[in-house]
Amino acid sequence: MSMITERPVSNPAGTQPVGTVGEVARPRDVRAVVAAYVALTKPRIVELLLVTTVPAMMLADGGMPPLWLVAVVLVGGSLAAGAASVLNCYIDRDIDQLMRRTKRRPLPAHTVSPRNALVFGLVLAVVSIAMMAALTNLLAAGLTLAAIVYYDLVYTLWLKRTTPANTFWGGACGAAPVLIGWAAVTGSLSPVAWALFAVVFFWQMPHFYPLAMKYKDDYARAGIPMLPVVASARRVNAEIVIFAWLTVLTSLVAWPLGLSAVYGVPTLVVGAVFLVEAHRLAGRVSRGEAAKPMRLFHWSTTYLTILFAAVALDALV
């Protein structure tokens, strides 16, 4: 359910398909089967999504929400993110086998059959939406459904393969957990919820573009028109800087909407470092030096984690 990138996945089950029609896994294969299905859910994505969801819930509640509600949203959100990722793997299985970064995922590696992956993804989606509808509210459930549909049908099936603006238009998926967590607590959406949504939305360009710079040849081989594939390095880095500034400015807009200096001060500090790293990347590229894009990629993850930790701390004081 997110544009946030997971680590490359190794083949967790060797070279033999598991879970194919009519096949019963032997006891010694059970761990391999489980590992393959877990890999389809891209658990690294789930981890980062939850970093934004829980702080949003805490801010919406003005403290710590009931633990049962946090548990429901964490489980439901994890299932929804897993469903979106599994269906993404199912749709992208043709291009995943062309990219070095993804060719060892369970579907191109033939460790899970396409049919079983599709069923698995749909089951996760239904369970997650039903759980959110029954135990939170219809707004949170509707946002969960919308995020899954948008990510898999609009982004994965269409935008990703047709436009270099795919990362921008797909950004709403990665930011959706903020709104889902907020809605689960309040049953509504406030200006500060939308501001935090915008932070994660804009953040995804300076997060994703450096990764696409590193794997530019991989994306080109698969025919995916990521911006670094079709545009000049100068254009790519200009957009990285612009969206880094938009991310930081939006994070400051959230400050007077219901947050205090407990949030604002660390946000200013990490935002400044984030901007410095974005400008350093652009500077290295303009001087013809080694770009080292993954430096910004990794720092962007640290930036978002610290920012939402500040949101959580602000809610508690």
- CA dist., res. 171 & res. 162, Å (int): 16
The answer on 253 and 147 residing in a single domain is no
The answer to whether the CB of 281 falls within 8 A of the CB of 240 is yes
Mean pLDDT check: name the lowest of 15-29, 34-48, 72-86, 145-159: 15-29
Q: Once rounded to an integer, what is the mean pLDDT over residues 46-57?
A: 87
* pLDDT of 142 strictly over 60: yes
DSSP output for 93-162: HHHHTT-TTTTTSTTTTTSB-HHHHHHHHHHHHHHHHHHHHHHT-HHHHHHHHHHHHIIIIIIIIIIHHH
The answer on 157 and 34 residing in a single domain is yes
Q: Of 37, 156, 30, nearest to 93 (Cα)?
A: 156
Instruction: Work out the pLDDT band at 1, boundaries 50, 70, 90.
Output: low
| Phi and psi at residue 16, to the nearest 5° | -95, 135
Distances 230 to 63, 221, 235, 239 between C-alpha atoms, Å: 46, 12, 10, 14
Count structural domains, the chain: 2
The answer on 201 and 134 residing in a single domain is no
The answer to whether the CB of 22 falls within 8 A of the CB of 67 is no
The answer on 55 and 135 residing in a single domain is yes
What six digits make up the tokens of 255? 């400050």
pLDDT of 260: 97
Angle formed by the axes of helices 67-91 and 114-135, nearest 10°: 150
State the CB neighbour count (10 A cutoff) for residue 214.
Answer: 15
Residues pairing with 18 in the sheet: 112
pLDDT per residue as tens digits for the range 160-200? 999 999 999 999 999 999 999 999 999 999 999 999 999 99
Examine residue 267 and state whether it is found in any structural domain, yes or no. Answer: yes
Mapping DSSP to helix (H, G, I), strand (E, B) and coil, where does residue 15 land? coil
Please state, rounded to an integer, the average pLDDT across all residues of the chain.
91
The answer on 242 and 309 residing in a single domain is yes
Examine residue 19 and state whether it is found in any structural domain, yes or no. Answer: no
Q: Once rounded to an integer, what is the mean pLDDT over residues 5-26?
A: 47
Instruction: Output the domain CATH number for residue 296.
Output: 1.20.120.1780
Boundary (domain end) residue, out of 168, 198, 233? 168
For the chain, helix, strand, coil in percent to 5 are: 75, 0, 25
The answer to whether the CB of 4 falls within 8 A of the CB of 204 is yes
Instruction: Output the domain CATH number for residue 136.
Output: 1.10.357
Instruction: Work out the pLDDT band at 29, boundaries 50, 70, 90.
Output: confident
pLDDT per residue as tens digits for the range 238-251? 999 999 999 999 99
- CA dist., res. 1 & res. 78, Å (int): 9
The answer on 219 and 137 residing in a single domain is no
Mean pLDDT check: name the lowest of 3-7, 165-169, 191-195, 211-215: 3-7
The answer on 210 and 157 residing in a single domain is no
Examine residue 16 and state whether it is found in any structural domain, yes or no. Answer: no
Q: Once rounded to an integer, what is the mean pLDDT over residues 14-32?
A: 55
Range of the domain at 104: 30-168
Cα 117 to the center of its chain, rounded Å: 20
The answer on 196 and 161 residing in a single domain is no
- The residue count of the chain comes to 317
Sign of the C-alpha dihedral, residues 25, 28, 31, 36? negative
pLDDT of 74: 94
Examine residue 17 and state whether it is found in any structural domain, yes or no. Answer: no
Examine residue 7 and state whether it is found in any structural domain, yes or no. Answer: no
Mean pLDDT check: name the lowest of 19-23, 28-32, 54-58, 168-172: 19-23
- CA dist., res. 240 & res. 208, Å (int): 9
Boundary (domain end) residue, out of 168, 200, 222? 168
Examine residue 303 and state whether it is found in any structural domain, yes or no. Answer: yes
Examine residue 10 and state whether it is found in any structural domain, yes or no. Answer: no
The answer on 108 and 160 residing in a single domain is yes
The answer on 144 and 214 residing in a single domain is no
* pLDDT of 27 strictly over 50: no
Q: Which residues contact 171 (CB under 8 A, 6 or more apart)?
A: 3, 200, 201, 202, 204, 205
The answer on 154 and 212 residing in a single domain is no
The b-or-e profile of 22-57 (16+ CB within 10 A means b, else e) is: eeeeeeebeebbebbbebbbbbebbebbbbbbbbbb
The answer on 296 and 253 residing in a single domain is yes
* pLDDT of 284 strictly over 60: yes
Angle formed by the axes of helices 293-316 and 261-286, nearest 10°: 170
Examine residue 23 and state whether it is found in any structural domain, yes or no. Answer: no
